[in-house]
Amino acid sequence: MSITRERIRASLETERTISQKGIGLEVASAEWEDSHLVIGVRPLKGRTRIAVDEGLEGVRVKWGDEFEFAGRIKFVDPDQDRIVLEPLTGGKPVAGSTIWLFPGDFLGPLIEMWSGPMASRAAKRLAQSKEELEPRQEVLPLPIEFAELRERQALAVQNSAYRCSLLIGPPGTGKSFTIGALGAYLLTRHPGARLLVVGPTNVAVDTALLAIDDWLTRIGRTDLARRMKRIGAHFDPRKYVDRPHLLAAGVAEKVTEYLMLELAEPPKSRIGEYAKWKDRIGAARAALAADIGTTSSSARVVGVTVSTALRWHEALTEKPFPFVICDEASQIIGPAAMMIAALGQQTVFAGDPQQLAPIVRTDDKAGTPVLKRNAFDIFQHVKTVHLNEQSRMSEGICRAVGSTFYGNDLIVCRKAARDPEWKQARSPYFVDGREVPRICFDPVSEAATFSAKYGGFIRFQSAKLIEEIADELAGSYVDPSEILVLTPYRAQRALVKLLLKKRHPTIAVSTVHRAQGSERTVVIFDPVDASSQFLSGADGNRLINVAVSRAKAHVVIPYHQDDLKHPALAKIHGISSKIWQTKGDYSRPFTFGRST
């Protein structure tokens, strides 16, 4: 079935309708404190889940039989699974009832674009990418300043001469490094040309923009770096303290004010004091926003999130951008990716389609394929480079990840493999004289169960196993800051955080969705229930890939036999068993593992 404009609009409208119906959370507790309503929440069983984190701040909330009560989320305390509301109407929800969250309308601007002249431009760009087989500029050898690039990285930069190209960067392959070189090359090869840098998150935009700045410094073109500007109020100010030239006039000074105020953050337990601080920090954050029209027209490089680019597309296209770079493109729904290509003449989509995909709530058979297709699906016919030399994971982890998710086309970078410091940083740990396998599967006998207390699926035995692993490794062998615990389940994350809170408060515990882009020496990945529908199919493969590929030296996986029903996890288990999990005590290097 072909994807028409009408089908795209219908799919977006369906997704928008579902979003506007609200997302339900069960009330675990509700109390008044300093004129604010403090509500403990947990997900509704069988309902669409939502991450209870800072991303919900400012969201409207309603409850009651006829939604007669309402409030706005002032701030979120994710560690305690509670939200603090600024009430708009009186009334307190009771434990066991449901509150409904209504996030902002992020799809509205995109629907408007597909209903107007931008739809024709998007269709034209897609057609041009299929019809124009020759490059729009001559493909030249790269200048000597870019000699540091590996062979495939250099090819990705050269492919920017085409109408559209794809840069696929598996974990640790230097995707951001390549994007930086790409941006610097375009600016130096095409005097006066303008470049739009976009990504689905502020982190993605910051990473890409700073990579370009690094390359311009490396090749001695700081004059061009001063023409780069970050637009939007939600960038990470800490990243720009030493790079004020990347901010619009007057914004750099406000960054200092913001960071000073951030240092005065009170504990979230002091609700009233924290709420007042949120008002001050919110005003300071708003002051970081630059005027989009004025800033974009005078800059040569502009960095914005995808949502901002779509909402303000008229201001951004008033003075055209010949070139567009879109990072983390696998996380952007297809209709948005097509519009990103319409914002410029030549587009490079970068990312990894084997990692996190777009989040789509509709299960409509007609709409889901339209929305879940990303740039790597829609533009799969264009020039594509697949980076295959990575310098994050040790040889053993790289082999397992490459075999399971990348068709064996992933190797340790040859330069890194010869570097004694790189190898030392990834040398194996020994516990009681026994080497810890690079990928260590440690069995538990308990299957996952639904916990009303934690509002989701947990596995207490594997959580206790993680606590014991932390006791064994943290401090004695590994700096706690170099350990990362990952799980796909929010309830299990809460349980593990509770167990580690007293003795290992600095060990990071996160859901897999929030971990992309991070890395640690040791990763402990608890799948909890890999045989579930939640981890099935391509989306489940992506989650497991993200989790395992965060590790530099070791991955430890607590598992129940049922977890091996998942094909990807079973394959990784098979590889680890063949290489490391030999018979006897050496198969379980941790002392607690031998008695399981």
pLDDT band at 580 (very low <50, low <70, confident <90, very high): low
Across all residues in the chain, what is the average pLDDT?
Answer: 89
Q: At what angle do helices 460-473 and 490-500 cross, to 10 degrees?
A: 40
Whether the domain at 108-247+301-387 and the domain at 391-595 fall into the same CATH topology: yes
Tell me the per-residue pLDDT of 422-456, one tens digit each, with 9 for 90 and over: 999 999 888 777 788 899 999 999 999 998 888 78
Pick the CATH number of 108-247+301-387 from 1.10.10.10, 3.30.450.40, 3.40.50.300, 3.30.300.130: 3.40.50.300
- Domain layout of the chain by residue ranges: 23-102, 108-247+301-387, 391-595
Average pLDDT over residues 102-110: 85
213 Cα distance to chain centroid: 22
Q: What is the Cα–Cα distance from 237 to 244, expressed in whole angstroms?
A: 10
Pick the CATH number of 23-102 from 2.40.30, 3.30.70, 2.20.25, 3.30.420: 2.40.30
Looking at residue 372, its pLDDT comes to 87
Name the class of domain 391-595. alpha beta
The residues pairing with 522 across neighbouring beta strands, listed in sequence order, are 483, 554
Tell me the per-residue pLDDT of 456-514, one tens digit each, with 9 for 90 and over: 899 999 999 999 999 988 877 789 999 999 999 988 998 999 999 888 999 999 988 87
Please provide the DSSP assignment of 375-388 as one string: HHHHTTTSEEEE--
pLDDT band at 2 (very low <50, low <70, confident <90, very high): low
- CB–CB of 117/530 below 8 Å? no
Tell me the per-residue pLDDT of 192-203, one tens digit each, with 9 for 90 and over: 899 999 999 888
- CB–CB of 71/30 below 8 Å? no
- CB–CB of 326/347 below 8 Å? yes
- Out of 102-111, 399-408, 479-488, least confident range: 102-111
Dihedrals phi, psi of 142, to nearest 5 degrees = -75, 145
Q: What is the Cα–Cα distance from 526 to 501, expressed in whole angstroms?
A: 18
